[in-house]
Amino acid sequence: MATFNNTATLSYNGQVTNSNVVTGEIVDAISATKTILDSTYSAGDTLTYVISIINSASTPITGISVTDNLGAYTTQAGATVYPLDYVDGTVRLYSDGVPATAPAVTQGPPVVFSGITVPANGNVILIYEASVNAFAPISEGATITNEASVAGASISIPVTATATALADSEPALTISKSVYPETIFEDGQITYTFVIQNSGNTPATVQDNVVVSDNFDPVLSNLVVTLDGQTLAPTDYTYNAATGEFATTAGAITVPAATFALDNLGRWVTTPGVATLRVTGTV
């Protein structure tokens, strides 16, 4: 929006007099809002963005472009990085609720959608997807804020709209299993090792009720169970020596949160938190 002032001058018989000052205001015909369908993210997620552009004028506005900065920010080293990547081919356009021809796309970054027309007293909705890349901060409380700028020959000052996504605050667990030795004699001792990794930004605590279960075949006897080198109490797991069914007690296993650090290119590197469960027994 902009205001303007205007004064008229009257001249007669060599005299000059000024009128009063009138003030007016230019109101933007275009307004825009931006939302995210899912406002939280984890590494590798795909986010869906929706931009609504409204035209309050009685004539269509053509030649509009929308530029999304894909969450650009400056690192401590002074480099500009983009935590989001536009997903090629995902853009859709609706004009007054009706599917319309998708705009031209310049992938960037930033990504630019161009050639958009907003009908008179109408609106368009632009929908597209962006994937979370290695430049996205994912520690607890981290955010990605990206800004869309709507511009065109008929828009004196570009209209901006922002949306903010919050990093998920929860554990993200995976498990792998190995056996040693792989070849064993009867009545020999064998050890199963379970490595539980947490790539999430919060620890897996007692309240998360982590359980590791297995069905040992062949059945083991004389079990010794350790977690990170510490022997678990018999109340921390159950074992059926007749069937080989094993399970830790819910909450007996906790896993620390991952740690995050920037590399020299400004990318976030995740070091998972780890808990190691070992079950040793006689075949």
Query: What is the per-residue pLDDT across 198-252, written as a single tens digit (0 to 9) for each?
Result: 999 999 999 999 999 999 989 999 999 999 999 999 999 999 999 999 999 999 9
- Report the pLDDT value the prediction gives residue 144, as an integer from 0 to 100: 97
| 19 contacts: CB under 8 Å, gap ≥ 6 | 7, 8, 9, 10
Q: Do domains 26-167 and 173-282 have the same CATH topology?
A: yes
Using DSSP, state whether 265 is helix, strand or coil: coil
Measuring CA to CA, which residue among 194, 190, 229 is closest to residue 210? 194
CATH number listed for the domain at residues 173-282:
2.60.40
Share of the chain above pLDDT 90, in %: 77
pLDDT one-digit tens code per residue, 246-275: 999 999 999 999 999 988 888 999 999 999
Instruction: Work out the pLDDT band at 1, boundaries 50, 70, 90.
Output: low
Enumerate the domain spans of the chain.
26-167, 173-282
Strand partners, 262: 268
Query: How far is it, in rounded angstroms, from Cα 272 to Cα 173?
Result: 9
The pair of structure tokens assigned to 105 is 């796309």
- Right CATH number for 26-167 from 2.40.10.480, 2.60.40.740, 1.10.420.10, 2.30.30.100? 2.60.40.740
Query: How far is it, in rounded angstroms, from Cα 90 to Cα 99?
Result: 14
Instruction: Work out the pLDDT band at 26, boundaries 50, 70, 90.
Output: low
The pair of structure tokens assigned to 173 is 């667990």
